[in-house]
């Protein structure tokens, strides 16, 4: 059994309890994600896919609620894509963030470093394959890491890591890809890579995520709603005109404007 109550989900539960115990104030929750990048074998530019996946997984050391945490890729192109991902990862050096050559800095705290490092321990315990990275430095830095052979039974597949670790899982059919993408308690964001508009629409509809990007990684902008399904949060959306609903109370007013004096005259 997994402990699904990662920090953000656990804090969200506390706010709900606090609201229940006080004045039943409304609560809007955004509790993180375990976001998939689903890559079909008809993706037209694997270099672009690799670049987008690397950026989505490792930007800000992976300390991003919408980070690409799971790569779900067609078995026929998995090895080729991992090779291209490795080539782009050479540009993501780890070290002092004040050095402009480095793109991966220290994790936010020693406690968080230990938490993220524990997932590397799972890699050894589960005898998984480290395709790229995997090293730690000075109890503060974790190299961008790609772990191959991850299954839904693994903690790396299910729990939000909030660090620079990308898990890789292969699939053999479109239905299996959708099932894998949805096989977590989270549903914040997802990305889909395919050359087929029909498949892009099908995946966008069936993946249970609040934001889905096609052939790119992103979170939208200030004009588009941001938020997720399942344990990623509920109660409203951030950004866009929909965010205003969180701060408004709806009211219905009925007014009788009929002229009763006229009605009496007619009678």
pLDDT digit string (tens) for 70-80? 999 999 999 99
Q: At residue 25, does pLDDT exceed 90?
A: no
Catalytic residue among 8, 51, 65, 159: 65
Does 63 qualify as catalytic in the annotation?
Answer: no
Task: Place 263 in a pLDDT band, splitting at 50, 70 and 90.
Answer: low
Does 216 qualify as catalytic in the annotation?
Answer: no
Beta strands in 14-151 (DSSP E): 29-30, 35-39, 68-74, 93-94, 102-104, 129-132, 136-137, 141-142, 145-148
Residue 6 has a pLDDT of 62
Q: At residue 5, does pLDDT exceed 60?
A: no
- The answer to whether the CB of 147 falls within 8 A of the CB of 121 is no
pLDDT tens sequence across 113-170:
999 999 999 999 999 999 999 999 999 999 999 999 999 999 999 999 999 999 999 9
pTM for the complete prediction?
Answer: 0.88
**Per-residue DSSP letter, 226:** B
Residue 235 has a pLDDT of 81
d(CA 159, CA 34): 7
Q: At residue 251, does pLDDT exceed 90?
A: yes
Domain extent listing, the chain? 33-222
> Is 182 strand, coil or helix?
helix
Catalytic residue among 30, 143, 160, 231: 30
Q: At residue 1, does pLDDT exceed 80?
A: no
Task: Place 265 in a pLDDT band, splitting at 50, 70 and 90.
Answer: low
Tokens standing for residue 124? 């050894």
Q: At residue 3, does pLDDT exceed 50?
A: no
Task: Place 185 in a pLDDT band, splitting at 50, 70 and 90.
Answer: very high
Residue 181 has a pLDDT of 98
pLDDT tens sequence across 42-58:
999 999 999 999 999 99
Task: Report the percentage of the chain scoring pLDDT > 70.
Answer: 95
CATH of region 33-222: 3.40.309.10
Residue 38 has a pLDDT of 98
């Amino acid at each position: 059994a997994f402990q699904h109550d990662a920090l953000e989900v656990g804090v969200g539960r506390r706010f709900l309890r606090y609201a229940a115990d006080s004045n039943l104030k409304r609560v809007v929750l955004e509790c993180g994600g375990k976001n998939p990048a689903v890559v079909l074998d008809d993706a037209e530019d694997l270099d672009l896919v690799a670049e987008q996946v690397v950026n989505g997984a490792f930007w800000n050391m992976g300390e991003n609620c919408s980070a690409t945490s799971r790569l779900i890729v067609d078995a026929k192109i998995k090895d080729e894509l991992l090779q291209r991902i490795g080539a782009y990862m050479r540009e993501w050096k780890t070290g002092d963030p004040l050095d402009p050559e480095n793109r991966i800095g220290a994790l936010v705290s020693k406690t968080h470093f230990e938490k993220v490092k524990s997932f590397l321990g799972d890699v050894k315990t589960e005898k998984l394959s480290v395709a790229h990275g995997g090293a730690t430095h000075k109890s503060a830095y974790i190299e961008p890491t790609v772990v191959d052979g991850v299954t839904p039974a693994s903690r790396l597949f299910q729990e939000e890591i909030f660090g620079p670790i990308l898990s890789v899982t292969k699939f053999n059919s479109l239905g299996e890809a959708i099932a894998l993408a949805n096989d977590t308690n989270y549903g914040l964001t997802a990305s889909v890579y395919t050359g087929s508009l029909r498949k892009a629409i099908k995946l966008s509809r069936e993946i249970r995520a609040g934001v889905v990007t096609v052939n790119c990684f992103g979170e939208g902008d200030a004009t588009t709603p941001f938020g997720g399904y399942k344990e990623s949060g509920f109660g409203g959306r951030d950004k866009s005109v929909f965010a205003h609903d969180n701060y408004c109370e709806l009211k219905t007013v009925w007014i009788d404007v009929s002229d009763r004096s006229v009605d009496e005259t007619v009678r």
